[in-house]
Structure 1
């Protein structure tokens, strides 16, 4: 268990952890829950430096494509579950560097 906690603290992805320790393959949700717990605690005490860019334009002009050309797809969090009248849900956000809303 301590090796798993060290791997999470070191910033390893869930896939990297499973490749190194295949017996954890069916514990993905548990690994992700632990990671989120560590991140929540870390950012409760420390603020991230955040840069916000507002990109706008007509449909089909390359707004999303431009984001994907500049960033690795694994580093992009894309919100697609707009809740009618309830705002935007960030439930699946896990610390990606780039958010596309």
Structure 2
């Protein structure tokens, strides 16, 4: 009876050892996966920061160009009026029409 009990205990111990080894492997695999995902997250955050900076720069350039156009541009209506009047005011004469 005592030998049978010892066999059961040895079997239970072996089963527990195998379960622990399996869990250790699962934990190691999960840790490796987590590290890969953290590295990918860091790469994506870095890329996102770069894209945000690029976007902000493009918005600034666009805003600057729009301000230049608004300040120095001529609307088609004002150009039409100037050319239709013949430009006689202040001695101005149009040399031609730029197409």
- TM-score with structure 2 setting the length: 0.21
- Higher RCO structure (Cα 8 Å, ≥6 apart): 1
Query: Which has a greater percent of strand?
Result: 1
Higher CA-based Rg: 2
- TM-score with structure 1 setting the length: 0.21
